[in-house]
């Protein structure tokens, strides 16, 4: 469904780029005005934000839709929130909702987004490392990779012949990196490491 942008044009939202959505809970004029102001201020602060002022669609349905689309932060504003000078901040990572002062949103939201991104990155790296084994033989690489993880094996040990043999076990070299993790200058550069995993 198309939504209004800053120029009043009807364009589809760019969902992949949205960091936050500001939702009007009710079609109250003051609420609608406030969510639009919040959207403008967050944009000026560098946040990629979408204002959802479609109050003809039930609030619960809209909130769930944005949750399913994976938007990191929802800012929910209703008449009672305006009276209290707050908005409800719903965070996808780490989860939960909390009231936040309206005048603190622009200052706090960029930090919240950075904090959530840092947490996701740390979790991703931890998961990758916990499922990756350093091995020194072809057999160990096969064992580690067929168990559902990844194996790091020196390319000098695996080589092209070993890469072909991996196919017998439904495994492939997913990438080849230099010893420091960078892209190697050449396939046969000293210290290259093959990352082996199941082929899908």
Q: What is the CATH number of the domain that holds 115?
A: 3.40.50.800
What is the predicted pLDDT for the residue at 185? 87
**And the tokens for 115?**
């904090």
Please give the tally of structural domains in the chain.
2
Q: 81 and 136 share a domain?
A: no
What is the predicted pLDDT for the residue at 98? 94
Q: 78 and 136 share a domain?
A: no
What is the predicted pLDDT for the residue at 188? 84
CA–CA separation, 161 and 173 (whole Å)? 12
Buried b (16+ CB within 10 A) or exposed e, 16-46: eebbbbbbbbeeeeebbebbbebbebbeeee
Per DSSP, 175 falls in state E
Low-confidence residues in the chain, pLDDT < 50? 1-16
CA–CA separation, 88 and 81 (whole Å)? 8
Residues 100 and 89 sit within 8 Å (Cβ to Cβ) = yes
Look up the domain containing 164 and give its range: 131-198
Per DSSP, 183 falls in state P
Q: Would the pTM count as exceeding 0.75?
A: no
Boundary (domain end) residue, out of 99, 127, 155: 127
Q: 7 and 103 share a domain?
A: yes
Boundary (domain end) residue, out of 101, 127, 153: 127
What is the predicted pLDDT for the residue at 8? 40
- CA 147, chain centre distance (Å): 27
What is the predicted pLDDT for the residue at 194? 95
What is the predicted pLDDT for the residue at 9? 36
């Amino acid at each position: 469904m198309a939504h209004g942008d800053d120029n009043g044009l009807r364009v589809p939202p760019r969902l992949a780029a949205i960091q936050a959505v500001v939702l009007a809970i009710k079609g109250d004029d003051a609420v609608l005005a406030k969510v639009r102001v919040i959207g403008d201020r967050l944009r000026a602060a560098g946040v990629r934000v979408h204002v959802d002022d479609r109050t003809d669609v039930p609030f619960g349905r809209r909130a769930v839709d944005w949750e399913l689309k994976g938007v990191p932060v929802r800012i929910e504003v209703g008449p009672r929130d305006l009276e209290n000078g707050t908005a409800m901040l719903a965070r996808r990572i780490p989860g939960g909702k909390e009231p936040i002062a309206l005048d603190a949103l622009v200052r706090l939201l960029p930090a919240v987004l950075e904090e959530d991104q840092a947490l996701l990155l740390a979790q991703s790296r931890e998961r990758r490392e916990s499922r990756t084994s350093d091995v020194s033989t072809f057999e160990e690489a096969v064992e580690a990779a067929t168990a559902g993880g990844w194996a790091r094996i020196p390319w000098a040990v695996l080589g092209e012949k070993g890469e072909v043999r991996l196919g017998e076990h439904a495994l492939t070299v997913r990438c080849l990196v230099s010893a420091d993790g960078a892209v190697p200058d050449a396939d046969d550069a000293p210290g290259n490491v093959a990352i082996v995993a199941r082929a899908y």
